[in-house]
Chains A and B, each alone.
Chain A
């Protein structure tokens, strides 16, 4: 589903087609800008995030391929959200003096961001392979829904059963990730 209105965005990005990239700007930048401004950012932040996302996707497309399950727009939006989230996080850590910012080279910044996104894709892909029940359970668990509510919602006999089930789902997800040949090269 990478083609919309007869335009193949991924191909356009891969070949660096100016017309198509401009079309990506027109159709997607306002949404990303809105997201960044709503989340403590400014116009310039939004521009940087969008630029970096397109740049990193271009590099990935040159070096290998990207398989997109949803629409290109939804995917690009996710990449932008991840970049901005990381940026905000490091700003906050910096304010709290938790880390001394070592000046990263530009290529280091981009390569880390690319690998983070590739890891994100891998995790998301494997999450989709779990049963709907497992997915729902893990999401609730990580939303910190209490065990007694999980027991009620999923009709488990006890909290211990819920715990066992969460354990199995998480383990299955972990196994699926480890089994994927790409995980090794994305490990830190």
Chain B
């Protein structure tokens, strides 16, 4: 039976509300009382469970149960399961890739129809494209990389340099990231695209944004928005309109509302 006083101590200890001296005292007590140690471990686990955080200390088991699991993993049967699942994963990837182009072609038909409908509007451009670019391009909306893990410092250095207008430093940092990162966050292509756009290289800018558009990222529709803006910057109205039409094809696309609005202005 746990006394209320002990519970209070455990609470204070786990929430870090204990003074350094008391903490030290309590840890000594825990070390000398196995029951208390167990109780503390249990309450820690309960806290982790209810706060949805992972219990990092719940490792280092050395139980019979653990050994039994490991023996099975090492057995031929265990290895065979792993092999089978890997194969199914590969099969699944291949079939889902095959299914996508079909859906794409349907989109193209739909978007072509939309292009025809909107073609009539193409000849009546009232706003200057450069003005529209300034109205719609918002640096504050650029992706932020602060929460990314191991390559965080390189990415934040690169994006900060871009925001401060140091294009060359920014580009070098992004390129370094692209070479060293184990997996590339496709949102970096928003930046590299814009850098080339700033440097006046339309072709390379679009290439970079294509990399994002064709990635598996859920954010890949951002590529369309930045492409549309890039075309505007280069005064390519037709291309900008076509890109905006692709955006409004799907209401879940990034900047769907703005795309509609911008298209109306063009």
Contacts and interface: CB of A to CB of B under 8 A. Distances in A.
Contacts of B81: 16, 55, 58-59, 62
Interface string A94-122: 11000000000011101110111001100
Contacts of A44: 183
A116 B66 CA distance: 11
Contacts of A31: none
Nearest to B186: A42
Interface stretch (A3-11, A66-74, A85-93, A150-158): A85-93
Interface residues of A, number: 63
Interface string B75-90: 0011001101110110
The secondary structure that dominates the A interface is helix
Interface residues of B, number: 56
A140 to B, nearest CB: 10
Nearest to B67: A111
A86 B54 CA distance: 6
Interface string B124-151: 0000000000000000000000011110
Contact of A174 (B43, B65, B218): B43
Interface string B33-54: 0000011011101110111111
Interface string B55-77: 11111110111101110111001
Interface of A: 16, 18, 21-22, 25-26, 29, 34, 37-38, 40, 42-45, 47, 50-51, 54-55, 58-59, 62-63, 82, 85-86, 88-95, 106-108, 110-112, 114-116, 119-120, 123-124, 127, 138-139, 142, 167, 170-171, 173-174, 177-178, 185-188
Contact of A171 (B2, B51, B52, B54): B2
A188 B61 contact: yes
A89 B147 contact: no
Given A94-B149, A115-B66, 14 more contacts: A22-B88, A34-B218, A40-B147, A40-B148, A45-B183, A55-B82, A59-B78, A62-B77, A85-B53, A89-B53, A95-B152, A107-B70, A119-B45, A185-B63
A66 to B, nearest CB: 14
A18 B73 contact: no
A118 to B, nearest CB: 9
